[in-house]
């Protein structure tokens, strides 16, 4: 067992599960989506992205691309959340929450592709 690969896989799967945890719930209900869960998803996605910079293979390039897409979508969700609450200073409406959760859903798809690629690469690995 390679500890480096364990850490790599851990952060990729944790990024997906945290994003799924934020995404789960009614799409327009702000009570079902907590800001700390979004912040945790962003932080872990950044950590997973940094770990993917070391992989120089073709699959590594696709893994990095999926991670960058997830980061971009989660940052956009955080910007929308912050803009509505602190710039516009308006309460969270169901339509704004639906936009935030939709952006998180896009990141979830990118994370799912990343995990699938990791599983496929692991299965194809010869001993």
Cβ atoms of residues 4 and 73 within 8 Å = no
Asked whether the whole model's pTM tops 0.95, one would answer no
Provide the percentage of residues in the chain whose pLDDT is more than 90: 83
- In tens, the pLDDT along 50-99 reads 999 888 888 889 999 999 999 999 999 999 999 999 999 999 999 999 99
Across the chain, where does the E strand assignment appear? none
Q: How many domains in the chain? A: 1
CB 22 within 8 A of CB 34: yes
Name which of 102, 84, 82 is nearest 93 in CA terms: 84
State which residues form the domain around 14. 3-125
Read off the pLDDT band of 1 (50, 70, 90).
confident
Q: What angle do CA 17, 21, 26 make, to 5 degrees?
A: 145
Average pLDDT over residues 108-116: 96
Give the tokens for residue 52.
């993917």
Residue 4: per-residue pLDDT: 87
């Amino acid at each position: 067992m390679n500890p480096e690969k364990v850490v790599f896989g851990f952060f990729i799967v944790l990024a997906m599960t945290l994003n799924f945890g934020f995404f789960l719930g009614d799409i327009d209900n702000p009570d079902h989506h907590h800001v700390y869960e979004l912040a945790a998803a962003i932080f872990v996605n950044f950590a997973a992205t940094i770990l993917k910079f070391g992989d120089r293979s073709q699959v590594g390039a696709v893994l990095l691309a999926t991670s960058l897409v997830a980061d971009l979508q989660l940052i956009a969700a955080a910007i929308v959340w912050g803009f509505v609450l602190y710039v516009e200073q308006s309460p969270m409406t169901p339509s704004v929450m639906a936009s935030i959760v939709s952006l998180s859903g896009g990141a979830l798809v990118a994370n799912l592709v990343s995990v699938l690629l990791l599983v496929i690469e692991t299965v194809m690995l010869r001993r």
